[in-house]
Amino acid sequence: MNDFIEKTKYIHNVYKNNKKLFDKKSEIGQHIQVFNNGFFGNILVIDNDLQLTEHDESNYHEMIVHVPLNYMENKINVLIIGGGDGGTLREVCKHKNVTQIIMVEIDKEVIDVCKNYFKKCSNSFNDKRLTLIIEDAALWIEKNINKYNNYFDIILLDSTDFNKS
């Protein structure tokens, strides 16, 4: 049984007939790629880790946002950690009771790429409630922990789940 577990501990997704649309290392060293697939549409990959596909990104973004926000009736402040593709932001912006959104994304290049290749996801970066901060979120929180103590009603963590061993 242990031999079976060892052989199957990695799951590999193969998307056939892809066309590479974008391939670049960002200033902070992330390898950002965009592929196009006949079924899934555009696919975002960062450091060989699948981030999203146009076909099903809404499943993730709607669940991460609407499940907690639908229980919040009063005016609220939201912190988004990560989320450079813009999908979580898009869903947060649908809630009229949100007064301020602070989004801390480590890599501006991810945002720029998604604005170009994932327009449906990234259509809320101009929302007037948004303050966009390009910085490592752990460092930003460390610097601002006292300033924003008890400020946010919801904190959404939309970061990569790297499968590194």
Instruction: Establish whether 158 is a catalytic residue.
Output: yes
Q: Which residue among the candidates 3, 153, 158, 161 is catalytic per the annotation?
A: 158
CB 80 within 8 A of CB 102: yes
Whole-prediction pTM: 0.88
Q: Which stretches of the chain score pLDDT less than 50? A: 165
CB 33 within 8 A of CB 20: yes
Contact residues for 23 (Cβ-Cβ < 8 A; gap 6+): 31, 32, 33, 34
pLDDT at position 73, please? 87
pLDDT at position 8, please? 57
Instruction: Report the alpha-carbon distance of residue 115 to residue 111 in Å, rounded.
Output: 6
Q: Which of 19, 12, 158, 28 is nearest to 106 (CA)?
A: 28
Contact residues for 60 (Cβ-Cβ < 8 A; gap 6+): 52, 87
